[in-house]
Amino acid sequence: MPWDEGLVNSLVYDAPDPNEGRVLGYAQAVNEALSLALDHDPAVFVTGQGVDDPTAMFGVTKGLQEKFNAGRVFDSPLSEEGMMGICTGAAMHGMRPVFMHNRPDFILLAFNQLVTHAAKMHYMDNGQTTVPLVVWAAIGRGWGSGAQHSQSIQGLLLTVPGLKIVMPSTPYDAKGLMLSAIADNNPVLVFEHRWLMKKEGVVPEGMYRVPFGKGVYRRRGKDLTIVGASHALELSLQAANKLAAEGIDAEVIDLRTLKPLDEEIIAASLQKTGRLLVVDTGWAMGGVCAEIGCLAAEKWFEHLKGPVRRIGLPDIPHPAGYTLEQFFYPDVARISQTIREMCGK
């Protein structure tokens, strides 16, 4: 079995209610989005290492080359920086590339093109060109992914103007946000999480777009506000649901996109709860948690009833072995414990 497939298969999520609509896996939802976008607009193309191979980016690109031909869905050389520039150039000249990576770690090779070119072109050109580029990657975790295959890089990129950052948590969002990303005229980073790839959910057929900058309540509550995205939010939601039995009523907000950030939904919730827990899949220091925690101190200070807390990764590289990973990654138990502390229980 390739790599962490067994592990991802073994994860258990709440089953969706099939009465609410068609149930689809997360990877299939992204696959459907790509397929619709390719069908809808001849300018869209998909590239990345192995997008046309049998494993097909965790299944996300399965069947696309057969359906849309090798001109529009094609393998890429191992040249992350070069290909990021090539996709940027193609985007500046009428194409809408989707550039896919197995891991966000590989995007670090392309920071010059991403940060200093793609993100800035439209501004530097005074609006003459646009860069409708989607950069996709799946955050790794577990099974020895280790320090070089597990990095969440949204915390490095949040500070960069010109970029948008998308981190879906559900199959519904994964599809709708991907369709929005491809339709967007700016460079958009879509970070999925390996552990969500087989999660199932209700996903409408056909085109729909989930707007950027609009968070969503995953749980309503009054005792504290938990905000985050992707797998970190999923874990927090599980913790929050469990804690209801202990009389803790948490509000859980899925931000969906980190840039643009839905400040309003956080502000509204904080006004009610006065307590903020920020969660992220990346390092807690200096990243997404820091930005949102700082916003609270800056803009919503008057609502705060107690210190802000953040749950991300410790300031340590990711270890490889599961024997160390268990101490490294926050889990539902640790998130629960933090919530209890925040609520004085």
Partner 1 sequence: MIRYPYQGTSFDDWQHKLSSYAPEFLLKLFRDMLRIRIIEEEVERRYFQDHMKTPIHLVIGQEATSVGACAAMTRADLLYASHRTHGNYLAKGGDLKAMLCEFHCRINGCTGSRGGSMHLMDKSVGMAGSSAIVAGVVPIATGAALAAQMHGESYVTTVFLGDAATEEGAVSEALNFAALKQLPIVYFCENNFYSVQSPLVTRQPKRELYKWAAGYGMASELVDGTNVLAVYETMQTAVARAKRGEGPTFIESPVYRFRAHGGAGDDSKTGYRDIAEREAWEKVCPLETYFTFLKSAGLIDETVRNTMAGEIMAETMEAFDYALASPKPTEADLYTHVYAD
Ligand X SMILES: Cc1ncc(C[n+]2csc(CCOP(=O)(O)OP(=O)(O)O)c2C)c(N)n1
DSSP state of 57: G
DSSP annotation string for 200-241: EEE--SS---PPTT--EEEE--SSEEEEE-HHHHHHHHHHHH
With both helix axes pointing from N to C terminus, report the angle between 26-40 and 171-183 in degrees, rounded to the nearest 10: 30
Q: Which of residues 119-138 bind ligand X (CB under 6 A)?
A: none
Smallest gap, in angstroms, from Cβ of residue 65 to ligand X?
18
Least distance from C-beta 146 to its own copies, angstroms? 7
Of 62-121, binders to ligand X (CB under 6 A) are 78, 80, 102, 106, 109
Which CB atom, from 169 or from 257, has the smaller least distance to partner 1?
257
149 catalytic per annotation: yes
Q: With respect to ligand X, which residue has the nearer C-beta, 86 or 109?
A: 109
Could you tell me the two tokens for 53? 């191979």
DSSP class of residue 131 equals -
Q: What is the tally of helices (H) and strands (E) in the chain?
A: 13, 14
Please give the single-letter amino acid code of residue 7.
Answer: L
Task: Indicate which residue of 122, 149, 193, 303 is catalytic.
Answer: 149
DSSP code at position 247:
T
299 binding partner (options its own copies, ligand X, partner 1, none; Cβ < 5 to 8 Å by kind): its own copies
Closer by beta carbon to partner 1, 105 or else 173: 105
CA–CA separation, 343 vs 160, rounded Å?
A: 35
Q: Which residues bind its own copies (CB under 8 A)?
A: 81, 105, 108-109, 111-112, 115-116, 119-120, 123-124, 146-148, 151, 155-162, 282-283, 285-294, 296-299, 301-302, 304, 306-310, 314-317, 319-320
Residue 244 C-beta: closest distance to its own copies, Å = 25
Give the one residue of 31, 35, 47, 49 binding ligand X; rule: CB under 6 A: 49
> Which of 111, 208 has the CB closer to its own copies?
111
Bridge partners, residue 241, by sequence = none
Dist CA 278 CA 290 (whole Å): 8
C-alpha–C-alpha distance, residues 185 and 281, integer Å: 27
15 forms part of the interface with ligand X (CB under 6 A): no
Which of partner 1, its own copies, ligand X, none sits in contact with 323, Cβ below 5 to 8 A by type?
Answer: partner 1
Residue 271 interaction partner, one of partner 1, ligand X, its own copies, none, beta carbon < 5-8 Å per kind: none
Tell me how far apart the alpha carbons of residues 181 and 158 are, in angstroms, rounded to a whole number. Answer: 17
Contacts of 132 (CB under 8 A, 6+ apart): 91, 96, 182, 184, 185, 186
Residue 229 contact partner, candidates ligand X, partner 1, its own copies, none, CB within 5 to 8 A by sort of partner:
none
Take residue 131 and report the two structure tokens written for it: 């860069």
Give me the active site residues, please.
Answer: 149
Q: Interface residues with ligand X (CB under 6 A)?
A: 49, 78, 80, 102, 106, 109
